[in-house]
């Protein structure tokens, strides 16, 4: 059974509603939401009938598309998923869809040599590899970095939609330092990935500066379509993040000239894979190399430097060198316990 475009939009919209645990969804609520989405994406102003949405729910419940969605009715009125973790997006795709995706990948591969598509090469390879695995029981031809334990990846698509359509969000968020989750209204501006972890750059309604929210710390969020959206009027985000290693930055932060000495053994790794696009070679001799990067001083920079251990030394600025030395001393102190070594 093939799915036409409008039906797929309706199924995804109903799915997004039922995944939202912030509110209860009556049939009228679902009809209203589906009609709004159809108007937004397709310009359909005639709405959607009650019978159509009821039929959609029945199809989602059935095995016709492989969804088998656990949709239940509570209080004889409200629709919900009995399994809070369920989503039709987690259901396996059928053979017809796989064939269509193969055709799409084939078209994308034809453009792979053009400069506009340079950044898509890994995405095309990943798509092709996943399709190949789904139809052939054989070993992987290519492996990409991934973390299947990482939370929050399910939020990427709806958050992207909220940014694109300029929709404020009520987000329930629990940072690592917080004892309990907090709910606040945010204006979302950008999704950013760093080392296979995703972050939302947003501005809180009760705040003046940008903040960074890790997607794996977001518990739930709800679109506030009737809330006015506040545009971001700062610098372009490509410029905003160009002096940054990682994602942690405030609008007041400015780059520093960070001077690093790398020993001879690790110098080739740093030269062939620069720490930052601003990296320049200042000196090279029999002991190794000295490089400079112009970046904001943040947690991710310290973590990168510490990852090289004894192979890298901070020559400047002085406050960064002091912090790195202190952290290395505290790390070394953990191994000075004689009882620890006697147990080994």
What confidence category does residue 262 fall into, taking pLDDT thresholds of 50, 70 and 90?
A: very high
Whole-model pTM: value is 0.64
Which residues, including other chains, have CB under 8 Å from residue 43's CB and lie 6 or more apart? none
Domain boundary among 81, 106, 135: 135
Query: Which of the four pLDDT bands, split at 50, 70 and 90, describes residue 1?
Result: very low
**204/184 Cα distance (integer angstroms):** 7
- The answer on 110 and 83 residing in a single domain is no
Please check whether residues 9 and 86 belong to one and the same domain.
yes
pLDDT at 115 over 60: no
Q: Specify the pLDDT at position 154.
A: 82
Pair (229, 178) in one structural domain: yes
Is 148 part of a structural domain of the chain?
Answer: no
Quote the pLDDT of residue 88: 87
Confidence at 85, pLDDT banded by 50, 70, 90: confident
What domain count does the chain have? 4
* pLDDT > 60? residue 177: yes
Domain holding 326, by residue range, is 256-333
What pLDDT is stored for residue 303 in this prediction? 95
For residue 131, what are its two tokens? 């399709």
Final residue before a domain boundary, out of 90, 111, 144: 90
- Are 209 and 263 in a shared domain? no
Mean pLDDT lowest among 83-92, 194-203, 332-341: 332-341
Residue 242 lies in a domain: no
On the question of pLDDT at 301 being above 50, the answer is: yes
DSSP 117: G
Average pLDDT of span 124-146? 64
Q: Do 176 and 196 lie in a common domain?
A: yes
- The reply to whether 9 and 85 lie within a common domain is yes
């Amino acid at each position: 059974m093939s799915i036409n475009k409008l039906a797929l939009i309706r199924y995804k919209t109903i799915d997004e509603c039922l995944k939202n645990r912030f509110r209860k969804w009556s049939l009228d609520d679902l009809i209203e939401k589906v009609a709004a989405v159809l108007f937004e994406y397709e310009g359909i102003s005639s709405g959607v009938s009650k019978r159509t949405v009821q039929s959609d729910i029945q199809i989602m419940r059935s095995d016709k598309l492989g969804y088998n969605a656990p949709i239940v009715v509570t209080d004889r009125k409200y629709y919900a998923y009995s399994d809070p973790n369920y989503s039709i997006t987690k259901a396996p795709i059928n053979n017809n869809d796989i064939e269509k995706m193969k055709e799409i990948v084939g078209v994308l591969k034809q453009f792979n040599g053009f400069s506009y598509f340079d950044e898509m090469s890994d995405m095309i390879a990943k798509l092709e590899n996943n399709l190949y695995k789904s139809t052939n029981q054989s070993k992987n031809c290519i492996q990409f970095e991934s973390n299947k334990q990482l939370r929050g990846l399910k939020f990427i698509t709806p958050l992207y939609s909220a940014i694109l359509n300029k929709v404020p969000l009520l987000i329930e968020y629990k940072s690592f330092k917080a004892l309990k989750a907090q709910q606040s209204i945010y204006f979302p501006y950008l999704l950013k990935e760093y080392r296979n972890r995703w972050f939302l750059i947003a501005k809180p309604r009760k705040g003046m500066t940008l903040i960074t929210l890790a997607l794996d710390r977001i518990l739930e969020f709800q679109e506030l379509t009737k809330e006015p959206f506040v545009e971001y009027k700062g610098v372009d985000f490509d410029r905003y993040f160009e002096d940054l290693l990682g994602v942690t930055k405030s609008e007041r932060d400015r780059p520093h000239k960070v001077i690093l000495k790398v020993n001879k053994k690790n110098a080739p790794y740093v030269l062939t894979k620069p720490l930052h696009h601003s990296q320049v070679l200042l000196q090279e001799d029999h002991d190794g190399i000295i490089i400079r990067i112009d970046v904001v001083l943040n947690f991710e920079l310290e973590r990168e430097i510490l990852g090289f251990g004894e192979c890298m030394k901070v020559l400047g600025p002085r406050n960064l060198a002091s912090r790195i030395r202190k952290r290395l001393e505290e790390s070394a102190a953990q191994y000075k316990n004689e009882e620890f070594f006697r147990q080994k």
